[in-house]
Amino acid sequence: MKERKESFEKINGELLNFLDNSPTSFHAVANMRNMLEDAGFKRLLEGEAWSLEEGSGYYVTRNDSSLIAFRIPKRNFIGFQIMASHSDSPALKIKDNAEIQVEKHYVKLNVEKYGGMLCAPWLDRPLSVAGRIVVRTKEGVATRLVNVDRDLLIIPNLAIHMNRKANEGYEFNAQKDLLPLFGGKEAGEGFLSLIAREAGVEREDILDTDLFLYNRMKGTTLGLKGEFIAAPRLDDLQCVFASLKGLLAAEPNESVAVHCVLDNEEVGSGTKQGADSTFLRDVLRRIHKAMGRSEEEYLMALSSSFMVSADNAHSIHPNQPDKADPTNRPFMNEGIVIKYSANQKYTTDAVSGAVFKSICERAQVPYQVFFNRSDMLGGSTLGNISNSQVALNTVDIGLPQLAMHSCYETAGSRDTAYLAKAAQVLYSMSIRGSGDGEYRVAWEQA
């Protein structure tokens, strides 16, 4: 029991460190790259020819915000074992010409909403700015990561005396209510100058930016017995981290293990680096070509492949338990959540659900089931969108959490380890499918 508690504490410490150092999708991908390279994975570029070897691990990025890593056990592999998650979270994105003068005494920044965010938690807390900039160089243009690693901004609430109905419900106006205070009148046009200093470049060399506000509050463990973790961006970096831990611990046997992290899920996935892009399809096809396999062998491999779409799920809320389905009620720390939806917002069907339950059983981790209330719409995720590009048997799962799409979310302290163990089993096994509708499978433990 003590050993298991220590293992939970270890992976949670690693997760919180990963979250603290990943204020944007660009930083999350950079941190994954470092972890993969430390484990011996080799970098590939989409603009170069690929030379792949049996038994080796590789990774490729797109837009610096999506990443696919994979391990090839042997040339005549059976199929692909894939776990897909997303790197982005709802946030406030900084517009160009950001500074706005107010009454000749304040300077605030012009921002817009990215994704379906809970607005209220962003107010009255220290914020800062991170992302990437694109700068002029002698060779052309280049990207630079930026993180202003100090308390810099705040979005102040209006006092209750000036809005007596504030506690009766308030509709936020993104152009008026969510603009952060940057400085006093002396701040002037200092925002880009600050970014240039942080990036170590000249202000006039900044050609464009992808910069976001982020919550400065660090992740933590809480609860009487440390039952919970709270942090920014648990949705979906908790699944990203667990998937990567599973890949690094796995020993693929007869299938290619694929860790797939895509950007822009929170805004519909319809970008070159999103789930509706060709990124995953391109990588799988190029693996086949580099290993000297035919188009027919590629299609055969897809019939013996399986994808886990991993995006966090809703736990029963302690103050609003009636918001959940009456008979399917997932809780934090009670296992991975398998998501179902009759309208196919989630891809899970009886076959893929059964396969994933078998994975959990082999990993010796608990699982539970999620349905939305029949009178409430739920959100979509990566699975059904990715399937428009690569048709695979797919299950939608997630880890149970509270306050999804807040800038500070809560989850269970045991669940990251559960998913990492399930991912390790997924990546170490092979599934044989005949593609005849019955989906006969055979499991082979590495």
What DSSP element (H or E) covers 228?
Answer: strand 228-231
Q: What percent of the chain has pLDDT over 70?
A: 96
Contact between 210 and 25 (Cβ < 8 Å): no
Does the pLDDT at position 446 exceed 50? no
For range 168-195, the mean pLDDT: 92
- Give the chain's mean pLDDT: 93
Structure tokens at 261: 């992290």
Instruction: Give residue 2's pLDDT.
Output: 56
What is the dotted CATH code of the domain comprising 91-215?
A: 2.30.250.10
Does the pLDDT at position 436 exceed 90? no
Q: How far apart are CA 267 and CA 232, in angstroms?
A: 18
Number of helices followed by number of strands (H, E) in the chain: 9, 20
Give the CA count within 13 Å in the CB-facing half-sphere of 157: 15
What is the dotted CATH code of the domain comprising 2-89+232-428?
A: 3.40.630.10
Domain ranges of the chain: 2-89+232-428, 91-215
pLDDT digits (tens, 9 = 90+) for 234-288: 999 999 999 999 999 999 989 999 999 999 999 999 999 999 999 999 999 999 9
**Binning pLDDT at 50, 70 and 90, where does residue 212 land?**
very high
For range 217-233, the mean pLDDT: 97
Instruction: Give residue 322's pLDDT.
Output: 95
For range 348-375, the mean pLDDT: 94
Does the pLDDT at position 94 exceed 70? yes
Does the pLDDT at position 445 exceed 60? no
Instruction: Give residue 388's pLDDT.
Output: 86
Single out the residue of 296, 287, 304, 293 nearest to residue 72, CA to CA: 287
pLDDT digits (tens, 9 = 90+) for 48-68: 999 999 999 999 999 999 999
pLDDT digits (tens, 9 = 90+) for 308-356: 999 999 999 999 999 999 999 999 999 999 999 998 889 999 999 999 9
Whole-model pTM: value is: 0.95
Instruction: Give residue 328's pLDDT.
Output: 96
